[in-house]
Amino acid sequence: MEKRLTARDAIFYTVLVALIALSILIMYQQDRHWTKLQQIQAQLAEQAKETRDLRAALSSGQLQVAANTTEADQGKTSAQTVEVAPAFQRAKAATQLPDYAQGDWSVGAFGTNLATISPLVSQDAYSSQVQDYVLESLISRDPDTLEWQGFIAKDWQISPDGLTIIFNLRQDVAFSDGVPLTADDVVFSYNFIMNPAIDAPRQRSYYEKIKSVQAPSKYQVVFTFTEPYFEALSLAGGIAIMAKHFYEPYLQNPQQFNQSKGLLLGSGPYKLADPKTWTPDQGSVELIRNDRYWGDVKPSYNRIVWKIIQNDSARLTTYRNGEIDGYAARPIEYAKLKADAQMLDKSQNFEYMPPTGGYSWIGWNQEKNGKPSLFADKRVRQAMTYMTDTARIINDVFLGYAEAAVSPFSPTSKQHDQALKPYEFNLQQAQQLLKEAGYEDRNGDSVIENSAGEPFEFKLTYFQDNEDTKRMVLLLRDIYAKAGVRMIPTPQEWPVMLDAMNKRDFDAITLAWTSGIETDIYQMFHSSQTQDGGDNFINYKNPELDKLIEQARSTVDDAKRMPLWQQAERIMYEDQPYTFLTRGKTLAFIDKRIHNIQMTKMGLNRGMLPLENYVPSTLQRYKQ
């Protein structure tokens, strides 16, 4: 039966059509409103940025308006008279160079994979290099004068007794996720380090002289010390500021932080694309520009990238192919590379002794498995130094591009006693000392033994991927054998070496330490640092040296402190806890596309922050 449309049906469908049309109209209006809202939000964000920049200049005293200007002219005059903070002036000068451009990538290489780039739990120089682009501190050194200058702190005051330092913070600093940085973050950073649940024993030992860190106001932080400390300003002002809102949740489960691989977020010019997901198996570390960066000069590169290239030859090939921007040459290849037409055509070449360069050493573990080792006897350690032919290492391995190290102190430092000279190679003196210690060849097999007939034999642990270290170890093996000492070269991967150091599970080890303008030796040589993950992993203890280190650290007056360091140096010279080896020259090739490379009192400014290097637009390779 056919169904007919009634009047009621007609009214129903008419209303339905009207409702549908109204819905479509409402949706259209909402879409227009949403688009308009997005435009307004974008405008507000841009205005907020301009206001933030203006407030930053005002708050730091960088904005000056001429007195005799009209209100209408003040905006123009202000823009002309803005000055950047001292820490950014060198970077600002770079932006005024005729060929300056932003963009491109800075691409480097690491010689070993990184176990983690999370702050505090990382233990190598490579991870610190990554963190320097992300985490920032209150103050920094002027590379021209070496004086301290404000960074996140715009100024500070030190109490007459040296026990209190008050920092006043800039009010325009934010972390890369947009959250403002305040004094609470500084206080949190200190408390996080000092929390025993956090795996940061090395850092805690540095900060043990700090009594408290407090924030009396949002942008003021006060460091109070238990006693005077010669590096109090450096210690307080140099603390890497960690974002409280990001890291505090890990206090609920500290092991999650301690075992993390890539928890890295800060206020610096670069950031991880995701501050939580980096892992070692990625084969590189890549940072992207922090578009929210608060600094007076914006970062030049779009990205900072480090490729993991463990083989020296592979790194050279990669540099030749233009895939990385710099190459640190080995001495054995340096002269040849300087005569290489392709290298000279593409490279800037720098050969220099780093002003704050470190030193290499062999550390003699004095206690193993709870028992005194071969090297617990000072005479044995002295003998090992006498038979370590440093002059030959410099000539045969480093081809003269190094100098002998006497102690942890730079030979140009006031800490160094100029009367102390490197031990000279003396095999007879070494054998005599070993005999006095009870070691001689008792069975005619050319290996010396103790009174129980046990041979003088030990393993020397070294990083397996460093070819120069390998050559040195093999050279020393042959030299030691002439004195009847059997040394077994023991190459290891970096994570394995770290584990051995942490467990004190090695006989002897060769590595290098970095140095500073003035070197605090507490962490490496004070007896307290033999425990709880401290860096005195050779178990060296000397109460007299401990006392001198403590006195020197507590003496603020340079004229009184330097003689104390020199006394400490003389004890180490006598005790030889390390055999101090060499300080090596930097032999660097840097791609010519990287501009504004300069030498400063802190060394080459490549990668120095704030960034001063750039790539002119005509030479750029990477567009994103």
pLDDT number for residue 459: 98
Residue with tokens 């020393």: 476
Residue 211 has pLDDT above 90, yes or no: yes
3-state secondary structure of 302: coil
**How large a percentage of the chain has pLDDT more than 70?**
87
pLDDT number for residue 82: 55
- Identify whether 278 is part of a domain: no
Give per-residue pLDDT as tens, 245-267.
999 999 999 999 999 999 999 99
- Confidence band (pLDDT; 50, 70, 90) for 354? confident
pLDDT number for residue 74: 40
Tell me the average pLDDT of the chain.
88
Average pLDDT of span 109-113: 92
Q: Are 292 and 174 in contact (CB under 8 A)?
A: yes
Amino acid at 147: E
CA distance 26 to 3: 35
CA distance 215 to 53: 25
pLDDT number for residue 69: 36
Residue 3 has pLDDT above 60, yes or no: no
**pTM of this prediction exceeds 0.75:** yes
**DSSP notation for 55-123:** HHHHHTT-----TT--HHHHHHHHHHH----GGGHHHHHHHTSTT----SEEEEEESS--S--STTT--
Q: Are strands 359-364 and 578-580 parallel, antiparallel or unpaired?
A: antiparallel
What CATH number is associated with residue 207? 3.90.76.10
- Identify whether 563 is part of a domain: yes
Residue after which a domain boundary falls, among 247, 272, 297: 272
Residue after which a domain boundary falls, among 272, 305, 328: 272
Give per-residue pLDDT as tens, 112-130.
899 999 999 998 889 999 9
Say which range, 23-37, 271-285, 385-399, has the weakest mean pLDDT.
Answer: 23-37
- Identify whether 440 is part of a domain: yes
Do 154 and 188 lie in one domain? The reply is: yes
Residue 269 has pLDDT above 50, yes or no: yes
Say which range, 47-51, 89-93, 179-183, 275-279, has the weakest mean pLDDT.
Answer: 47-51
Do 108 and 122 lie in one domain? The reply is: no
Do 306 and 375 lie in one domain? The reply is: no
Do 419 and 346 lie in one domain? The reply is: no
Q: Are strands 457-463 and 508-513 parallel, antiparallel or unpaired?
A: parallel
- Confidence band (pLDDT; 50, 70, 90) for 144? very high
Compare 63 and 194 and report the one with higher pLDDT: 194
pLDDT number for residue 578: 98
Do 318 and 408 lie in one domain? The reply is: no
Domain that holds residue 466: 359-584
- Identify whether 172 is part of a domain: yes
Average pLDDT of span 510-518: 89
- Confidence band (pLDDT; 50, 70, 90) for 2? very low
Give per-residue pLDDT as tens, 36-91.
434 434 343 444 444 444 433 433 333 333 333 333 344 433 333 457 899 999 99
Do 603 and 546 lie in one domain? The reply is: no
Nearest Cα residue to 289 out of 265, 308, 268, 261: 268
Do 435 and 451 lie in one domain? The reply is: yes
Q: Are 368 and 505 in contact (CB under 8 A)?
A: yes
pLDDT number for residue 624: 77
What CATH number is associated with residue 344? 3.40.190.10
Average pLDDT of span 371-387: 98
Residue after which a domain boundary falls, among 213, 245, 272: 272
Average pLDDT of span 447-451: 96
- Identify whether 277 is part of a domain: no
Average pLDDT of span 221-239: 96
Domain count, the chain: 4
Instruction: Please give the structure tokens belonging to residue 205.
Output: 């030992």
The CA dihedral of 23, 28, 34, 40, to the nearest 10 degrees, is: -140
Give per-residue pLDDT as tens, 532-566.
678 999 999 999 999 999 999 999 999 999 999 99
Do 578 and 594 lie in one domain? The reply is: no
pLDDT number for residue 86: 95
The residue ranges of DSSP E strands in 329-451, in sequence order, are: 347-352, 359-364, 367-368, 371-372, 402-404
**DSSP notation for 188-255:** HHHHHHH-TTSS-HHHHHHTTTEEEEEEEETTEEEEEESS--TTHHHHHHTPPPPPHHHHGGGGGSHH
Do 121 and 106 lie in one domain? The reply is: no
Give per-residue pLDDT as tens, 313-353.
999 999 999 999 999 999 999 999 999 999 999 999 999 99
Q: Are 56 and 170 in contact (CB under 8 A)?
A: yes
pLDDT number for residue 320: 97
- Identify whether 528 is part of a domain: yes
Do 397 and 485 lie in one domain? The reply is: yes
- Confidence band (pLDDT; 50, 70, 90) for 355? confident
pLDDT number for residue 566: 98
What CATH number is associated with residue 372? 3.10.105.10
Do 16 and 57 lie in one domain? The reply is: yes
Do 44 and 25 lie in one domain? The reply is: yes
- Confidence band (pLDDT; 50, 70, 90) for 312? confident
Nearest Cα residue to 260 out of 277, 248, 246: 277
